[in-house]
Structure 1
Amino acid sequence: MPVSTMDRTSGAPLDLAADLLALLHDTATEPRPDTQLEALTLAVSADLPVLLWGEPGIGKTAALSHLAEALDLPLTTVIASVHEPSDFSGLPVVGDDPAAQGIPMAPPDWAVRLVRAGKGLLFLDELSTAPPAVQAALLRLVLERRVGALRLPPGVRIVAAANPRSSAADGWELSAPLANRFVHLQWTYDHEVVVRGLGGTWPQAALPRLDPGLLHDAVAFSRRAVCTLLAARPGLVHQLPKNEARRGGAWPSPRSWEMTLRLIAFATAACTSREVLSMLVRGTVGDGPGLELLASLDRMDLPDPEALLADPAAAVLPERGDLRQTVLDGVVEAVRRRPEQSRWDAAWALLVQALETGAPDLVVVPATTLAALRRDGWQVPAAIEDLAGVVSLSQRANRAAVGAGTSR
């Protein structure tokens, strides 16, 4: 019986297949702006557990593989839904004398491997398909890094991934205690990144570079930012959502505010973009409290009204309209608290600068209020003439709008 070519080259087809697979897996990376990847690496750098939310198949697992490789961390993947609670809380092991020594809780093999390595990236996949009993067992692992009687070393970072319940296989809502231990990041795909990645080049994952000269200031700034907001808004300290689905996401508590404080410090020391900081803050305390904190951060960076009144010629007003409006209102309020001719004149000079460098409508209300603060004997500065036309035009427009509404 003749011997076929395949028989004569026994094993060669599989060897060639392995070569082809190796070529397909041989990809490169490049520095490329990627907001969600930057947010992930900053949270990992801050040693906070991160939970990636996204639809199936959009690359959450692949992103973690790239991250582990870039950070030179061994990747340990644990599918939460296929484990028992004892796999995370530890298996009881009876020793020689349980009455004297007790019954220790033995950790699973993956935890032992992480301890031996001294570092690693622990990837808890399919978290939203883990039943409540398993989620309860994960609480201590995520917060205290303990598995049974074993404590994971400081070099281990924890990242989890989950699909929304609507697209999860037999999914569960995440329990509130477990959800409140994570920084929640919404993971989406970028068309350009996917196309370029399939072509062989993916974005490069790298930990943020912290400026050693900013460390102390970053801590002071983050503490002041969080404490200033919570002092003014005590109701934001702890808000457990009433809706079960929202409890499985980001919401404010003393724990999540502490995480937020840490993220602000790291973002400040790394000079992170506003977009990345917004993603992290909202992913820790929720959209509402997060946006309030971001607005508070903006106000912290605003110039002091007294400094502007002392030297209006050197003043630099914010570019953003809402922030410029806040500064101008603060200047007028400062004059109202301590009305003096020189301060009144300086405020007019600032309003003229705002008129020349920004939207005219922003000066209408401050100019009208400032004019009402004039005292007897104060000379009217020439700067008022530059503003009179804007205020008059605005008032006529308002009267016209009121008239139009009345005629309907």
Structure 2
Amino acid sequence: MHALALAVGANLPVILWGAPGTGKTSAVLALGRHLGLPVEAVVGSVREPSDFAGLPVVREGATWFAPPRWAERLAAAGEGILFLDELTTAPPAVQAAMLRVVLERVVGDLELPPEVRIVAAANPPALAADGWELSAPLANRLVHLDWEVSAATVADGFTGGFAVPEVSSADPPSPTSLAASRALVGAFLRVRPALVLAVPDEPARGWPSPRTWELAATALACTAHDERARAELVVGAVGEAAGFELLSWVRDLDLPDPESLLYDPAAPLPDRVDRLHAVLGSVVAHVTADGGGEAWQRAWALVARVSRATPDVAAGAARSLAARRPEGTPLPSAMLEVAPILRAAGLMP
């Protein structure tokens, strides 16, 4: 339940998998009340594709795809939870119509506000009424969580009420933490390029793709102090094999603080290439969040230092820094050492 709450707070599209009658719907409705968010529950089995793609109508001589009332209510509220319940009872045509809703928050010709969260729930197809497997494109747009209940939790709930976990904030992670997490995922995929895309041969839940790695990066950013929720969300985004490998790699990194590296030219640097990628990525994220010219200039000294031994590692950071130069900041002399890299990238004449 706590992983679900964090996912909703970070605006990650999430799906709960569990047996019928285990309280998935009640939990989502309770979480919405706890966060003060309106919840619109939509069951795919009783909907047509036009309920998501929009109903074509003629307006002022042009065709307009009118959104359903539930979408209009969410748009008017400006925020909320779109709860796609009983998702595995939705036939393939309806699942296909949901794709743009889940990814882009677009229903017909109506664009939902960014603050509208997407939550789904599903029973395994074998346990669903006229169950369908989740299509690969739809599964690839969601973070998959197993919904489990224990006898003790149910007994306590009947005795004292079913509690909703406290959530410190309903806001997405900060741009700084998200940039740092994206840098970590990027560094990991440099050393494990085979995991960038691994389309399953059979119906599956989470699996690696550029889209789900983006979800995993957001999960890393919003679960810095909760290892269990971090594991649930990362694995739910990219699957067990890729997810646990990323988590193990991140846990073993032990990276130095980016700010200390900027202000200590003699600070030791990692020997491993993957750690160097992660270090430079975190420095670029820190400099971008700082936004100041001094930090940007100091970062070039670090990039130049790395380029002397491993120019390939320095290349990505050099390109990123060059594209993020604060307006009016003089070019540091350290850029001369990486000038060949910048010329190759077309960033320096």
Q: For the structure 1 residues 74 and 216, does the alpha-carbon distance in structure 2 shift closer, same or farther, using more than 3 Å as the test? A: closer
Aligned AA (1:236): L
> 1:63: which partner in 2?
27
How many residues are aligned here?
260
> 1:267: which partner in 2?
223
Q: For the structure 1 residues 39 and 208, does the alpha-carbon distance in structure 2 shift closer, same or farther, using more than 3 Å as the test? A: farther
CA distance in 2, matches of 1:116, 1:66: 21
Whether contact under 8 Å (2:9, 2:170) holds in the other structure is no
Structure 2 runs not aligned, ≥5 long: 258-269, 273-349
Residue 191 (structure 1) shift = 1.8
| SS of residue in 2 equivalent to 1:277 | helix
Identity %: 52
CA distance in 1, matches of 2:154, 2:145: 19
CA distance in 1, matches of 2:26, 2:232: 21
Residue 42 (structure 1) shift = 1.1
Aligned AA (1:132): P
| SS of residue in 1 equivalent to 2:233 | helix
Is 1:125 aligned with 2:66?
no
> 1:76: which partner in 2?
40
Whether contact under 8 Å (2:41, 2:82) holds in the other structure is yes
Residue 95 (structure 1) shift = 2.3
Aligned AA (2:44): A
Aligned AA (2:209): S
Q: For the structure 1 residues 220 and 91, does the alpha-carbon distance in structure 2 shift closer, same or farther, using more than 3 Å as the test? A: closer
> 2:143: which partner in 1?
183
Is 1:291 aligned with 2:250?
no
Whether contact under 8 Å (2:182, 2:214) holds in the other structure is no
Is the radius of gyration larger for structure 1 or structure 2? 1
Mapping of residues 7-406 of structure 1, within 5 Å = 37-97=1-61, 102-209=62-169, 215=174, 218-243=177-202, 245-246=203-204, 249-268=205-224, 271=225, 273-301=226-254
CA distance in 1, matches of 2:175, 2:114: 22
| SS of residue in 1 equivalent to 2:162 | strand
CA distance in 2, matches of 1:226, 1:133: 34
CA distance in 1, matches of 2:135, 2:145: 17
1:363-397 C-alpha deviation (Å, 9 max, x unpaired) = xxxxxxxxxxxxxxxxxxxxxxxxxxxxxxxxxxx
Residue 240 (structure 1) shift = 0.2
Whether contact under 8 Å (2:35, 2:170) holds in the other structure is no
Whether contact under 8 Å (1:93, 1:106) holds in the other structure is yes
| SS of residue in 2 equivalent to 1:202 | coil
1:193-244 C-alpha deviation (Å, 9 max, x unpaired) = 21111123222233345999x946633541232112100110000000011x
Whether contact under 8 Å (2:10, 2:171) holds in the other structure is no
CA distance in 2, matches of 1:223, 1:110: 34
Q: For the structure 1 residues 176 and 185, does the alpha-carbon distance in structure 2 shift closer, same or farther, using more than 3 Å as the test? A: same
Q: For the structure 1 residues 84 and 217, does the alpha-carbon distance in structure 2 shift closer, same or farther, using more than 3 Å as the test? A: closer
Q: For the structure 1 residues 85 and 198, does the alpha-carbon distance in structure 2 shift closer, same or farther, using more than 3 Å as the test? A: same
Whether contact under 8 Å (2:54, 2:66) holds in the other structure is yes
Higher share in helix:
1
CA distance in 2, matches of 1:266, 1:303: 21
CA distance in 1, matches of 2:139, 2:170: 28
Q: For the structure 1 residues 41 and 251, does the alpha-carbon distance in structure 2 shift closer, same or farther, using more than 3 Å as the test? A: same
| SS of residue in 2 equivalent to 1:40 | helix
TM-score, normalization: structure 2? 0.70
Backbone CA RMSD of aligned residues: 2.4
Aligned AA (1:291): F
Aligned AA (1:187): W
TM-score, normalization: structure 1? 0.60
